Amino acid sequence: MADRASTDVLRGSLDLLVLKTLSLEPMHGWGISQRVQQLSDGVLEVNQGSLYPALQRLEKQGLVTSGWGRTDNNRRARYYELTAAGRRMLGAEVKSWRRFAAALETVLRTA
Amino acid sequence: MRWLDAARARLRLIKRGAAEARMREEFDFHVDMETERRMRTDGLSREEARRRALVAFGGTERYGEEMRDGRGTAWLSGVSLDLRLGVRMLVRYPGLAIVGGLGLAVATTVATVAVGLISSMMNPALPLPGGDRMVMLQNYDTQRQDPNQSTHLHDLETWRQSLSSVEQLGAFRTVRRNLLEEGATPELVRVAEISPSAFALTRTPPLLGRPLLSSDERAEAGNVVVIGGDAWQGRFGGDPGIVGRSIRLGDDEFTVVGVMPPGYRFPVNHHYWIPLRLEAGAYERGAAPPVMVFGRLAEGASLEGARAEVATVRHGLASTWPEVYEGILPQVLPYTYPFFAIDKPGIARALLLGQALITLLLVVVGVNVAVLMYARTTTRLGEITVRTALGASRRRIVFQLFAEAFVLSLLAAVIGLAAGSAALRRISAMMQNEFSGEMPFWLTPGLTPGLALYTAGLAVLAAVIMGAVPALKATGRRIATGLRAPGGAGAGGRLGRTWTVLIVGQVAVAVAVLPLALQGAMQAMRYGTADPGYEADEYLRAFVSMEQEASQAAEADVPASGAFADAASRLLSALDRDQRVADATFAFHMPGKESTVSVTAVSGRASTDSAGGTVWHSVALNRIAPDYFAAFDKPILAGRAFGAGDAAEAARTAIVSRSFADRVLGGGDVLGRTVRLGGSGASADEQLLEVVGVVPDFPTNDMQDQQYPRLYRALSPTRSFNLIVRTRGIDPTAYTRRLREIAAQTSASLVIDEPIALDDAIEQEQGLMRMIALVVMLATLSVVLLSAAGIYAMTSFAVVRRRREVGIRAALGAPPGQLLRAIFARTAAQLAVGVAVGLVLASALDVGLEGSHAALLPLVAALMVAVGLAAAAGPARRGLRIQPTQALREE
């Protein structure tokens, strides 16, 4: 059940993590998954495949764009990039997440 | 904008394919990168690293599916699932599939054939450059109801001078000429005498040489001919030096000046064109030979504008020549219309109405099948309810039921389209025969993209009626009820009344129409298989006349009798001398094709009825050569055959058939008795004929139920006739060539038209009759099946609804007989009402209700009752088998 809980939490915040990752630089799918794992010290581990439906969703919402590019070792890969809308959304989401986390923290502390 | 939609759909498909490929590539890249990382950091083998990478990814199929959902293409797999389900339902309910499918297939076939024919006839445009602007102008004679005799060269000249809305006016008429060449079989060809403007009008340049020019029209110019590309290839072997070569048509030499491209057959189906050299000045107004006038709507002119202008012109003509233009209505029609007599708005409307009615036939069948489908749908209310509860939208369920119906209707449409296009091919071939080479070149009934689209549309329409409508009804307001009683048993209750009306109506229509249909089919089949009563495979028939030019010289409807009689007599004696000819005779009509007249006996028992009035008999009249009967091996039963004197105009002699002697003259010795021909025109004396001989009845393949009485008068070869040649030791068809040669040697202008072996001619007609019989039988069968299925569904429902009641009554000890009676009572009542209404309808439709038809009525009524009761028996038996405990538990 513990795994399941962490998955659910991640699912809700996956979009946020992707946006955050892409705010640093344009990146391909595998790179995003590596970066998320790296940044979270391996705590947030989900099926890497779930990243792609999330990317598709974000692209449909106009928060990211994508295009074919070349990796360092000259392989064709699809790179994702944050749009202006995506950057605004990230800002809003981060704020909202902080408020939520702070509220939760307050509750936990008093309880 | 159909192409636009198609392009869009294709684009979507391409896009979908591209999205799929992009996704695959991205996934592959990801797994490859992960594999390499694990090999690098964990020191794993490639296989193991790849396995773990795939596990970490979590299944490419799963996320692929999720992304497809995200793209909105998931419905596609839903559709294919629905269609697969539809196929499964067909297999699970074979009865419904067969009955409904057959009914739909028959209706689709009929609709495809009818719409195919009508639309190819109604297509107003010629397949030529600017063909949609080509028109025909004609004078419709409102008194004679005839457009063919009242358009003359004078009118062409007037129209040329005064119309601004129609250009490139020209005229044509068809003449038949013998194409004669040394060393080649003489060939009868249809030559268009045509205004040279036709070539400019059709905007088709010649392949070789030049077209006809207006200078060719002058009488002093030499004889010139333009030939078609098909004739050039077929008849002249594609001779590159054809231009300048001389060919012989009848008695005249013509110089070939041009060759048109293959396929060019303007104005109707012509391969030879010569200038129209009629001098309007040589005739009185309204007395010149009739022609057909064509032209093209001027730039910016409309059909309505041209009509108004022509009407104004007519007004002026009528004031100058009131007697010529009395009752004449000038018409401007799309080029193709006059050839099918679509010369009144009413006819076009009637054809369109016919098209609509035939489409309606499918709707009727569709509604019938829909009733059956509805029954099935309501039995599945439980399933639908559960699906709804699980979150399926109404749209989703309706679409599923639509898809199920669509599978059935699509199957029927494919069958109908295949059968329909086969029938159209057959009809097209028969029309070729019927028009004998004069079938308009633009008329090609057959499978066209438009027709396929129409049939596909029918399939969708049928599926909407059969699937979507019942589904909407079933999912409408009963879902809640269904949830309370998921067995579906409570659902059928309210269909009762509509359904009863449908069943009663169906039985009534079947009872009313079946006897007619059966009788028609039986008659067609009888005629389609009847033996003519003589050795038809030994005879060759041809229509003999003179080239039209010769007849025009005489300025009369009949050919110049002297020249024709002379040529015809020489032809007959030349045939008699031929070793391969057993008999050569002639008659005005072919046996079995006689015209009917009414006659009465002047002296004898049968001349008056009990009230003293004259009794007229309908009989078949033919005019024949003296050796006609001998040529068909028919003996003279009494009296004598015709002699040379009987053919004289003054001779008033007749030979009658056996049935004529019995039925018209009352039997006994009829020689010397007198009959009077009905009709007006002749003086009283000319209508009286003396019977000089009696012959057996023949042919025996009459369309009528009984043998037509026949009356024969003598004919001398002074006018065109049917030549009948009985061959000896040679196939009649193979003799055609020899016949043409002999005729050409006799006279260059003797025309041998439409030669055909008699058994082929009979087979053509009988084949058509058998086809009609088959179609009627199939349609009848589908009506009976649909009715039976409707009654079956209805009864089955009644029993399902009364399960509990029947079960309890059985538990209380009710005897099976009583229960059966209860079950059958409703069905029997419906059948009785249906049959009664049907009988009333039948007697309203058929005024006389005579003979075998009347005998068929009770038979058909009994058949419908039997079918209905048999259909009710199955569900009734199932009803009896209900266990009382089971019935009670269902509460």
Residues A78, B26: C-beta atoms closer than 8 Å: yes
Residue of chain A nearest B66, judged by CA positions: A53
Structure confidence at residue A56 (pLDDT)? 87
For residue range B276-304, what is the model confidence (pLDDT) as tens digits? 887 777 788 878 888 899 999 998 889 89
Chain A positions touching B25 (Cβ under 8 A) are 76, 78
Please check the confidence at residue A1 and state whether its pLDDT lies above 50: no
| Tokens at B132, concatenated | 């949609």
User: pLDDT tens-digit profile of B368-408?
Assistant: 777 777 777 766 777 777 777 666 677 777 888 888 888 88
Across the interface, of B32, B56, B67, the residue whose CB is closest to A52 is: B67
- H or E stretch covering B804: helix B803-811
Show residues of chain B in contact with A52, CB under 8 Å: 23, 26-27, 30, 63, 67
Residue B612 has pLDDT above 70, yes or no: no
DSSP state for residue B467 in the 8-state scheme: I
Give me the pLDDT at residue B794, please.
Answer: 67
For residues B478-500, one letter each, b for 16 or more C-beta atoms within 10 angstroms of the residue's C-beta and e for the rest, the string is bbeebeebeebbbbbeebeeebb
Distances in Å between the Cα of B621 and the Cα atoms of B540, B685, B687, B724 are 22, 18, 13, 18
Give B424-440 pLDDT, tens digit per residue.
888 888 777 766 667 78
Nearest to B63 among A28, A50, A60 (CB): A50
Contact assignment for A49 to B59 by CB distance below 8 Å: yes
This model of the complex carries an ipTM of 0.87
pLDDT score for B493: 45
Is the model more confident about B194 or about A36? Answer: B194
Q: How confident is the model at residue B890 (pLDDT cuts 50, 70, 90)?
A: low
Q: Is A76 helix (H, G, I), strand (E, B) or coil?
A: strand
Q: Read off the pLDDT band of B636 (50, 70, 90).
A: very high
- B595 has pLDDT over 50: yes
Judged against a pLDDT cut of 80, whether residue B116 lies above it is answered with: yes
Beta-carbon neighbour count of residue B611 at 10 Å? 5
Rg of chain A in Å (alpha carbons): 15
Measured between CB atoms, does B67 come within 8 Å of chain A?
A: yes
Highest mean pLDDT among B112-116, B369-373, B618-622: B618-622
**Strand locations in B335-455, DSSP E?**
none
Which percentage of chain B shows pLDDT scores above 70? 83
Q: Which residues of A touch B30 (CB under 8 A)?
A: 29-30, 33, 48-49, 52
Q: Residue A30 is nearest to which of B29, B60, B66, comparing CB atoms?
A: B29
For the cut 60, the answer to whether the pLDDT of residue B555 exceeds it is no
The band of B646, judged by pLDDT with boundaries at 50, 70 and 90, is confident
- Residues in A closer than 8 angstroms to B29, CB to CB, are 28-30, 75-78
Q: What's the mean pLDDT in B641-658? A: 86
Evaluate if residue B679 carries a pLDDT over 80. Answer: no
What DSSP string runs through B848-865?
S--HHHHHHHHHHHHHHH
Chain A residue at shortest CA distance from B23: A52
A-B interface: how many C-beta pairs under 8 angstroms?
56
| pTM of the predicted model as reported, rounded to 2 decimal places | 0.63
A10-15 contact pairs (CB < 8 A, 24+): A10/A44, A10/A46, A11/A46, A11/A50, A13/A97, A14/A46, A14/A50, A14/A51, A14/A54, A15/A54, A15/A57, A15/A58, A15/A93
Q: Which of B859, B869, B877, B757 minimizes the C-alpha distance to B819?
A: B877
* Token digits of residue B398: 């309706």
Can you read off the two tokens belonging to residue B226? 């333009």
How many Å is the Cα radius of gyration of chain B?
37
Is B70 at the interface with chain A, CB within 8 A? yes
pLDDT bin (cut points 50, 70, 90) of residue B888 is low
Residue of higher predicted confidence among B65 and B738: B738
**Contact residues, chain B, for A56 at CB < 8 Å:** 67, 70-71
**b/e per residue, B319-340, with b = 16+ CB within 10 A?**
eeeeebbeebbbbbbbbbbbbb
* Residue B261: predicted pLDDT: 93
Indicate yes or no: CB of A47 within 8 angstroms of CB of B25.
no
Average pLDDT of span A84-89: 90
Question: Please, what is the angle between helix B496-529 and helix B758-801, to 10°?
Answer: 160
Distance from the Cα of A109 to chain B's closest Cα (Å) equals 36
Does the pLDDT at position B27 exceed 50?
A: yes
Residues B458 and B413: their CA atoms lie apart, in Å, by: 8
Min Cα distance B30 → chain A (Å) is 5
Chain A positions touching B33 (Cβ under 8 A) are: 30
**Chain CA centroid to CA B834, Å:** 32
Mean pLDDT of chain B: 80
pLDDT digits (tens, 9 = 90+) for B840-872: 877 776 544 455 566 777 777 787 778 777 777
Closest CA to B368 of B555, B99, B14: B99
Of A48, A57, A78, the CB nearest to B58: A48
Single-letter residue type at B118? I
d(CA B427, CA B112): 13
Q: Enter the tokens of residue B271.
A: 């391969």
Q: How many CB atoms lie within 10 A of CB B609?
A: 9
Task: Measure CB to CB from residue A49 to each of B62, B70, B71 and give the nearest one.
Answer: B62
Q: Which residues of B touch A34 (CB under 8 A)?
A: 37
Contact A48 B34 (CB under 8 A): yes
SS3 call for B654: strand
- Judging contacts by C-beta atoms under 8 Å, the chain A residues touching residue B72 are none
CA distance B83 to chain A (A): 28
- Residue B217's identity, in one-letter code, is E
Percent of chain B with pLDDT over 90: 16
Mean pLDDT of B238-263: 91
> By C-alpha distance, which of A90, A103, A104 is closest to A13?
A90
pLDDT digits (tens, 9 = 90+) for B482-541: 444 444 444 444 556 766 777 787 778 777 777 777 777 887 788 888 888 888 889 999
Cβ-based contacts of A10 with chain B (< 8 Å)? none
Cβ-nearest to B57 among A49, A53, A75? A49
Alpha carbon separation from B768 to B418, B419, B781, B858 (Å, rounded): 19, 16, 20, 30
Question: What average pLDDT does this structure show over B127-156?
Answer: 83
Strands B246-249 and B721-727: unpaired
Name the residue in chain B with its Cα closest to that of A57.
Answer: B70
Judged by CB atoms closer than 8 Å, whether chains meet at B59 and A47 is answered as: yes
Cβ distance B33 to A30 less than 8 Å, yes or no, reads: yes
A interface with B, Cβ–Cβ < 8 A, is: 28-30, 33-34, 46-50, 52-53, 56-57, 60, 75-78
Are the beta carbons of B248 and B254 closer than 8 angstroms? yes
Indicate yes or no: CB of B27 within 8 angstroms of CB of A52: yes
User: Is the pLDDT assigned to residue B72 strictly greater than 70?
Assistant: no
Which of B429, B424, B349 shows the shortest CA–CA distance to B120?
Answer: B424
The yes-or-no verdict on residue A75 having pLDDT over 90 is no
Using CA coordinates, name the residue in chain A closest to B56.
A47
Residues near B195 by beta carbon (within 8 Å), at least 6 away in sequence: B156, B169, B170, B171, B172, B217, B275, B276
Task: Using CB atoms, pick whichever of B30, B59, B66 lies closest to residue A29.
Answer: B30
